[in-house]
Amino acid sequence: MSGGIDSALVACLAVDALGPENVYLISMPSRFSSEHSKTDAKTLAENLNANFDIVDIDDLFEKYLQVLEPHFKGLESNVAEENIQSRIRGNILMGFSNKFGCLVLSTGNKTELALGYCTLYGDMSGGLSVIGDLSKTDVYNLAKWKNTVSTDIIPLLVVFKDSVSRIS
């Protein structure tokens, strides 16, 4: 549960398919997570009446940076450091999956995959790619439809924030 549109839609679809008692949503914030994304994730979990937990990954991220620092010394920070957070999240989700016998649902969509805007062993992790055949436009449209049939279950900021930033 990132607080974004893709994870919000996947959470809704999982609850619709499996029931809220069988869905476990995990938020993994770091120093880069905005307050509104953390709040949106929690609000959606409450709206769905699904199990929800928070695992802060900031200390793990910092440890990775410390371990890699001698090897990356003198080099500018780039996609290598950016992808560490996603890979930490993927590993944590797989840990939960192995421990509790749950299936991790990938939240990537077709547009992200086509543009290369996804992280191998990170947000691509999962046993089932629920929205993998949907374009980003389809994701927004389905989320908006879900809000009409479920009385604004997805916080409206989640539904509109990414589309507004793309227009700006």
Q: Where are the domains of the chain?
A: 5-163
| Residue 155, CA distances (Å) to 47, 74, 139 in order | 9, 43, 15
Q: What is the per-residue pLDDT for 163? A: 52
End-to-end Cα, the chain, rounded Å: 25
Q: What is the per-residue pLDDT for 40? A: 92
In this structure, are residues 2 and 69 in contact, taking their beta carbons and an 8 Å threshold?
A: no
Q: What is the per-residue pLDDT for 150? A: 84
* Per-10-residue mean pLDDT, the chain, length 168: 92 97 96 90 96 96 97 94 93 96 95 88 90 95 92 76 46
User: What angle do the packed helices 5-18 and 156-167 form, to 10 degrees?
Assistant: 150
CATH topology for the 5-163 domain? Rossmann fold (3.40.50)
pTM (2 decimals)?
0.89
Residue whose entry in the numeric block shows the structure tokens 């049939």: 149
